[in-house]
Chain A
């Protein structure tokens, strides 16, 4: 694997994130250094790549992933991706410096940097993905890590709610995006970004264009917090301020507009695109700015302002004109610069003054003049004051808004909306500065404010200087890079544009002046009202948060309960009935259309002994069903009889492997069911039978179902047996088993080698099942009539207690004395048997599964012989460790082959010369089998322990009754 710089840029943050976790817990400075060096390294690596993307080319890095599905791990950097990864890693670096001073040493710093670095990596992944599916994967990762970052102070209710809301909204969007991307792949025939970007006409003319567009836009608009999905962003402000500065100004929310710009050449230019994107953008622009004015929380104001500015970018992208796209990309960069610095300044103010409430903050300028100046400049950039970067992109925006692109009311409204939004932006910018820094000195602050340490202010300063420099000499600074980015998106369509500050006295300038003047005027008139207002005028009662909560409650609680009420049942019988009925229907439908079709072969079993064996088995089975209602123990014994007949059948038909496994499984299941019997509700023949037509009808229905299922199964099996055996791969296994798998036991070689991946999946399922059983039994509430101790135990107990020289439980111990000694002696024998089964498994009947169950039987015997308490006093069994260790060993054995360049789970086989023993076959599959063994032991013993503990646990009510 060659180390491409692209791969390094992507991998470094994730690796560093893991490294941070390994640091000691109080290492604030090492973690900061590590994060800082990582982001700086990403920045430098990106910068080095500039020559390769400067001339409109792109850098690619490709590793095959699932090529048959068109999925490759493709990274691709062109000018647009370059400028975005500069932005992400650059602002990431500044945020790290800032965080060092912002996060208090009491907070879990490692967790912060882990999430932060992982988020940076995911964001870079979104930017650098050259494959749309890969992009969606990283997109979802950003949602998850933003959830974790917003909820960083998880002791805080607001943080938890905000994180949950952000995740819900963006993850729904991400799901829609995945569906949209799949549609794109369906239309284009490839997920490769370059292929997709070339197929714009194909996609736009396809009949699935509208659903594709809607789904992708759903993803982009939720991510960028655009109307009507904007409500999550203000609620995400409970996050630590560095997170807001990074996620909610420069990166996460930019992912949406980034995607829209990325796919702009493919999707834009249609009326649908214009209407959806334009409407969302315009609504966000005006609504965000309007709501921002009324915010009393400093970060809330910035959040709504972000919504408004992202709306501006969205509106620009909606126009479908190349100049609009240029302005959009330019504004993405400008907004990131000034908004990140403003968020960081907000954090400083919060940190120093102890509050973010605009009503309580005032006159801070005399305490922190430098921060005040920086914040003022950044706010001016946000308002679009000339000589700052915000002014340039806003001018371009006005120019584009005036142009007519599509003849509709939306287009006519655009210039007015633009001026209105900008005027409101001026108002809230002035309000921000005026209410925090100017005015009377405050009467009381939670603490005396002063200037922050230099390095905490440094990131703000750096960004503000960037705003100024770009605003004054744009052509010399951002110009060439912007051109690279723009031409990589627009290609041949790249228009002529000028970044000059002065274009002459034209309409956009007039609009700018009008916006600035009317915004200032509005603040003069309504400033006091805004300062005192409780909620926004006119639409204050429409609260996105409350609507979201109502919807969530309806969906996740009321509807869920409703569905549960209709389909759910607390009784097992209806569920079983449903399952069986569904199975019958599922089998009957294809049989009805295709017919059953018996073959010409007979069964061909004439051996009377074999037939007799089966008659015994069938009698046992039927008798078990007959006895199941009132004599469960007898039914269980009879089931054991059927199981033994099955075992003997396997032996008879030359399948010793199956027989051995079946035998141990039979033993263990019988014991486990036996242990569970005690918890079933009692049933006696003296109980009154429910009579009446309905009950009788129900029973006939159940009988009919049972007969149909059983007879149907038998018929199908018979029909299959009478047919000629199909061409199977069995001969392949027979041929290759020894030659390539190194084992003579074909069944085992299939399990651990040829179909090793299946087995890995199966043992994983087994582990999950065992854990589920354990979890269910931990909260098990027995039926009321089984809470009490069984009659036998009660008699023994009262007898033991009545006798002065007897311990409680002595009766059982005495009765079991001789058998229990022998059973304990059997323990090492069973261990040896299990080891024998395991070791010979590759060549002779046996194997990890049979050995594991045999080993578990050994443990069961100990529990039975001496009782739970006695065994657990002396024997420390850690079933979960067995499960985890087994699974890990199996997976690691599989992974080991990858180190040698072979696919996952390739087995390795050779003979080794051991001293004394001689020539010994060694197969890596044996290690895999050892993993299977460990997992099976763990899973079985875990279920056993869960059941055993259930019998010694006493319910509180029962305990109180016994020992009042």
Chain B
């Protein structure tokens, strides 16, 4: 095992680049979360960090420690997998909760419930049928 100072220049540069990309994407995501106006816009921004933000940092870590240890170190991939699996759960829960709240409070800009839509359709068809009969 070598110390970080002994990292070859190409590896150091590659690692730095990857980590910077990852950190930058995450920062953009954070700024986006702050800046976007509505919830549904904002909910997309942090995924920058949890997708390629994490991915780039994981790659950087793999490069750095593989070179330092002179063998392939890949267990960071697990971190990536966990984040990829769990983030959608969080976001879906959040989005559905907000969707539900908006529907219940009758806020504008959200699609209506499926069942009530069918109901409306049914009503229009019934009216059409009446018209035909007349």
Question: Which chain A residues have a beta carbon within 8 Å of chain B's beta carbons?
Answer: 792, 795, 803, 805-806, 811, 815-816, 818-819, 822-823, 825-826
Interface of B is mostly: helix
Partner of B92, one of A795, A819, A826: A819
With A803-B115, A806-B115 as known contacts, state yes or no: A815 contacts B100, CB within 8 Å. Answer: yes
CA gap between A122 and B83 in the complex, in Å? 64
Residue B70 interfacial (CB < 8 Å): no
Partner of B85, one of A806, A815, A826: A826
Residues in A whose Cβ lies below 8 Å from that of B85: 822, 825-826
CA gap between A792 and B100 in the complex, in Å? 9
B67 to chain A, nearest CB (A): 23
CA gap between A438 and B121 in the complex, in Å? 105
B61 to chain A, nearest CB (A): 15
Additional pairs, 20, CB under 8 Å, beyond known A816-B93, A822-B86, A826-B86: A792-B100, A792-B104, A795-B104, A803-B115, A805-B115, A806-B115, A811-B100, A815-B96, A815-B97, A815-B100, A816-B96, A818-B88, A818-B92, A819-B92, A819-B93, A822-B88, A822-B89, A823-B89, A825-B85, A826-B85
CA gap between A826 and B89 in the complex, in Å? 11
The A-contacting residues of B in range 88-112, CB under 8 angstroms, are: 88-89, 92-93, 96-97, 100, 104
CA gap between A819 and B94 in the complex, in Å? 11
CA gap between A819 and B93 in the complex, in Å? 7
Write out, one digit per residue, whether chain B residues 16-39 have a CB within 8 A of any chain A CB (1) or not (0).
Answer: 000000000000000000000000
A61 to chain B, nearest CB (A): 62
A sample of 8 inter-chain contacts (CB < 8 A) reads A803-B115, A815-B96, A819-B92, A819-B93, A822-B88, A823-B89, A825-B85, A826-B85
B42 to chain A, nearest CB (A): 16
CA gap between A606 and B97 in the complex, in Å? 43
CA gap between A818 and B89 in the complex, in Å? 8
Nearest neighbor of A795 in chain B, beta-carbon distance = B104
CA gap between A344 and B132 in the complex, in Å? 106
A798 to chain B, nearest CB (A): 11
Nearest neighbor of A819 in chain B, beta-carbon distance = B89
How many residues of B are counted as interface, with CB atoms below 8 angstroms from the partner's CB atoms?
Answer: 11
Residues in B whose Cβ lies below 8 Å from that of A792: 100, 104
B41 to chain A, nearest CB (A): 21
The A-contacting residues of B in range 74-94, CB under 8 angstroms, are: 85-86, 88-89, 92-93
B53 to chain A, nearest CB (A): 18
CA gap between A806 and B113 in the complex, in Å? 13
Interface of A is mostly: helix
6 closest residue pairs by CB, A with B = A819-B89, A815-B96, A822-B89, A819-B92, A819-B93, A795-B104
CA gap between A615 and B86 in the complex, in Å? 28
A618 to chain B, nearest CB (A): 20
Residues in B whose Cβ lies below 8 Å from that of A815: 96-97, 100
Residues in B whose Cβ lies below 8 Å from that of A825: 85
Residues in B whose Cβ lies below 8 Å from that of A795: 104
Nearest neighbor of A818 in chain B, beta-carbon distance = B92
Residues in A whose Cβ lies below 8 Å from that of B93: 816, 819
B35 to chain A, nearest CB (A): 20
Residues in B whose Cβ lies below 8 Å from that of A822: 85-86, 88-89
Nearest neighbor of A804 in chain B, beta-carbon distance = B115
CA gap between A815 and B101 in the complex, in Å? 12
Write out, one digit per residue, whether chain B residues 110-129 have a CB within 8 A of any chain A CB (1) or not (0).
Answer: 00000100000000000000
A270 to chain B, nearest CB (A): 80
Residues in A whose Cβ lies below 8 Å from that of B96: 815-816
Residues in A whose Cβ lies below 8 Å from that of B97: 815
Residues in A whose Cβ lies below 8 Å from that of B88: 818-819, 822
CA gap between A811 and B100 in the complex, in Å? 10
Residues in B whose Cβ lies below 8 Å from that of A806: 115
Nearest neighbor of B97 in chain A, beta-carbon distance = A815
Nearest neighbor of A815 in chain B, beta-carbon distance = B96
A714 to chain B, nearest CB (A): 30
Nearest neighbor of A825 in chain B, beta-carbon distance = B85
CA gap between A795 and B101 in the complex, in Å? 11
CA gap between A811 and B97 in the complex, in Å? 11
CA gap between A816 and B93 in the complex, in Å? 7
B97 to chain A, nearest CB (A): 8
CA gap between A816 and B95 in the complex, in Å? 11
CA gap between A535 and B46 in the complex, in Å? 90
CA gap between A815 and B94 in the complex, in Å? 10
CA gap between A119 and B104 in the complex, in Å? 70
B75 to chain A, nearest CB (A): 12
Residues in A whose Cβ lies below 8 Å from that of B115: 803, 805-806
B84 to chain A, nearest CB (A): 11
CA gap between A881 and B100 in the complex, in Å? 40
CA gap between A823 and B93 in the complex, in Å? 12
CA gap between A653 and B28 in the complex, in Å? 29
Residues in A whose Cβ lies below 8 Å from that of B104: 792, 795
CA gap between A803 and B116 in the complex, in Å? 9
Residues in B whose Cβ lies below 8 Å from that of A826: 85-86
CA gap between A815 and B100 in the complex, in Å? 9
Residues in B whose Cβ lies below 8 Å from that of A811: 100
CA gap between A811 and B86 in the complex, in Å? 22
Residues in A whose Cβ lies below 8 Å from that of B86: 822, 826
Nearest neighbor of B114 in chain A, beta-carbon distance = A814
Nearest neighbor of A833 in chain B, beta-carbon distance = B82
B36 to chain A, nearest CB (A): 20
Nearest neighbor of B100 in chain A, beta-carbon distance = A815
B114 to chain A, nearest CB (A): 9
Nearest neighbor of A803 in chain B, beta-carbon distance = B115
A491 to chain B, nearest CB (A): 79
CA gap between A525 and B53 in the complex, in Å? 111
Nearest neighbor of A864 in chain B, beta-carbon distance = B93
Residues in B whose Cβ lies below 8 Å from that of A823: 89
Nearest neighbor of B91 in chain A, beta-carbon distance = A819
B33 to chain A, nearest CB (A): 14
CA gap between A816 and B97 in the complex, in Å? 10
